[in-house]
Amino acid sequence: MRSDVAVIFDVDGVLLDLTPQEEDAFFWAFAKLHGLEGQSRDWDSYRIRNDEDIITEILERYFGRQPSRDEHRAIITAYLNHLASDIDLKRLAPSPIEGAADLLGRLKGRARLGIATANLREAAELRLAACQMWTPVQDHAFGADGGGAKRDILGRAIAATGLPRERIVFVGDNLNDVEAGLAHGVHFIGFSRDETKCRRLVGGGAKLVCNHHQDTLKHIEQALHL
């Protein structure tokens, strides 16, 4: 494997579509443990778009105080157990983005591969493994664990590679991904199958934006001289 370059992917919107059933699995834990229903599904409505921080924010509103570590962990455990069960029993099927598995396959051995996602790392593993996409990215996989915005998560992934920024590509689909990529000085590639979202990424500062992973691969190869 070539070890002097790396490609880091966001998960939702880049490798997987986030389905309503997967959202249900996340919010199920709040209803099960505390009877909390009707939480916002607009991820941008929360202070920090990160599963750990969203759990904290919802529990803060419920308790009227900072949740304890055990209270916070109970939600995570219930969510992950429920998600694993739903996937195992085929009540829920993660939905891969067209061309994502092929993209990973074409890059395997040519670069270090990883993820920087606002989903909990174990949840990302369960979802990607169900689509046979976990193994290629598992060695450099970073998620919401530890909290923080996407800039923080990407920073942890970059630090783990030990590589210069110019040898790293980050592929994301949201404005916070653009901001994270630009802040860290890595090559950023915006991806979305939605034309309006593509224009929004360009407006946010993305120099390269594509709507099919055949083009994503070309941009990665050009940026890293593969």
Among 164, 218, 222, 225, which Cα is nearest to 191's?
218
**141 vs 157: CA distance, rounded Å:** 7
Structural domains of the chain, count: 2
Structure confidence at residue 3 (pLDDT): 82
Domain range for 78 = 20-88
Give the tens place of pLDDT for each residue, 61-70: 999 999 999 9
Q: What residues pair up with 111 in beta bridges, in sequence order?
A: 108
Answer whether residue 14 shows pLDDT above 90.
yes
Residues 111 and 125 grouped into a single domain: yes
Give the end of a domain, one of 69, 88, 107.
Answer: 88
**44 vs 16: CA distance, rounded Å:** 18
Residues 182 and 192 grouped into a single domain: yes
Residues 212 and 116 grouped into a single domain: yes
Angle between helices 213-224 and 100-107 (to 10 degrees): 30
Give the end of a domain, one of 47, 68, 88.
Answer: 88
Residues above pLDDT 70, as percent of the chain: 99
Structure confidence at residue 1 (pLDDT): 60
In the block, tokens 């998620």 appear at 143
Answer whether residue 133 shows pLDDT above 80.
yes
Residues 119 and 72 grouped into a single domain: no
Residues 105 and 202 grouped into a single domain: yes
Mean pLDDT throughout 159-180?
Answer: 96
CATH code, domain carrying 37:
1.10.150
**CA separation, residue 145 to residues 9, 164, 202 (Å):** 16, 24, 29
Answer whether residue 2 shows pLDDT above 80.
no
In this structure, is residue 112 part of a structural domain? yes
Contacts of 80 (CB under 8 A, 6+ apart): 120, 122, 123, 126
Mean pLDDT throughout 21-48?
Answer: 95
Angle (CA) 160 161 165, round 5°: 115
Would you say 112 and 139 are in contact if contact means Cβ atoms under 8 Å apart?
Answer: yes
Residue 188 pLDDT level (bands cut at 50, 70, 90):
very high
Give the H or E element holding residue 129.
helix 121-129
Residues 51 and 162 grouped into a single domain: no
In this structure, is residue 75 part of a structural domain? yes
Tell me if the pTM is above 0.85: yes
In this structure, is residue 1 part of a structural domain? no
Give the tens place of pLDDT for each residue, 89-99: 999 999 999 99
Mean pLDDT rounded to a whole number for the chain:
95
